[in-house]
């Protein structure tokens, strides 16, 4: 066995031991994510506004920090592009915070477009794999079709879908993330071999 393989095996053993040692924390985090996800789904309009406000603050803070760092590096190449990027972050952040409902509509349009484009790309990817006789291409095709249908449904129901789409999808994401953490925690209960 080479030293690289031995190092990798040691890393795997150390990671498994660390997971075993902290499995309860992963379990707690998973349960919290499940509860938050279910709450976000049950209160999708409120979750949509909360996500929009959070994104507004993230854009605003990143824009302000970008503005300061751009000013300090004003003699560096790309100054004007960095300045435009920072100002854009500030403007988007202020717009999202000033009108989270309108911001949610805009974010929902972007989300819908993302699903549609992602779905088309996934379908094309699946068809390429089908031509190459790769196995399991059908799952990718189904995923792409679901993305296109979901994106189309969200877009067709605009502006009313803006009230629930982001909150619902954030809740679903938290439920799947929480479930994954719970599964990992339960598997890590047993000590590493």
Residues 56-107 have pLDDT tens digits of 999 999 999 999 998 898 888 788 888 999 999 999 999 999 999 899 999 9
What band does 36 get if pLDDT is binned at 50, 70 and 90? very high
Integer Cα distance of 148 and 48 in angstroms? 21
In the structure encoding, which two tokens stand for residue 189, read together? 């209960």
Provide the pLDDT for residue 81.
Answer: 87
Integer Cα distance of 84 and 100 in angstroms? 23
Domain map of the chain by residue range?
A: 18-187
Find, among 39, 159, 148, the residue nearest to 108 by Cα: 159
pLDDT in tens, 135-190: 677 888 888 898 899 899 999 998 898 889 888 888 988 898 888 888 888 887 87
Integer Cα distance of 125 and 136 in angstroms? 12
Integer Cα distance of 126 and 70 in angstroms? 43
Integer Cα distance of 102 and 49 in angstroms? 10
Sequence-ordered alpha helix ranges (H) in the chain: 3-21, 23-42, 44-72, 79-98, 100-131, 137-156, 165-187
Query: ω before 159 within 30° of 0 (cis)?
Result: yes
What is the pTM assigned to this prediction? 0.69
Is the distance from CB of 175 to CB of 37 less than 8 angstroms? Answer: yes
């Amino acid at each position: 066995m080479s030293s690289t393989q031995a190092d990798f095996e040691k890393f795997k053993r150390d990671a498994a031991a660390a997971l075993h040692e902290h499995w309860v924390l992963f379990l707690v985090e998973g349960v919290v994510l499940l509860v938050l996800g279910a709450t976000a789904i049950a209160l999708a309009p409120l979750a949509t506004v909360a996500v929009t406000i959070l994104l507004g603050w993230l854009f605003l803070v990143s824009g302000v920090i970008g503005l300061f760092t751009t000013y300090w590096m004003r003699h560096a190449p790309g100054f004007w592009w960095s300045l435009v990027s920072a100002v854009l972050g500030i403007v988007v952040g202020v717009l999202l915070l000033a009108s989270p409902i309108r911001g949610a509509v805009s974010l929902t349009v972007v989300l819908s477009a993302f699903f549609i484009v992602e779905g088309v790309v996934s379908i094309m990817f699946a068809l390429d794999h089908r031509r190459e006789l790769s196995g399991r291409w059908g799952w990718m095709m189904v995923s792409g079709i679901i993305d296109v249908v979901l994106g189309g449904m969200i877009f067709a129901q605009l502006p009313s879908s803006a009230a629930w789409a982001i909150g619902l999808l954030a809740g679903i994401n938290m439920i799947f993330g929480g479930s994954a953490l719970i599964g990992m925690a339960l598997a890590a209960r047993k000590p590493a071999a």
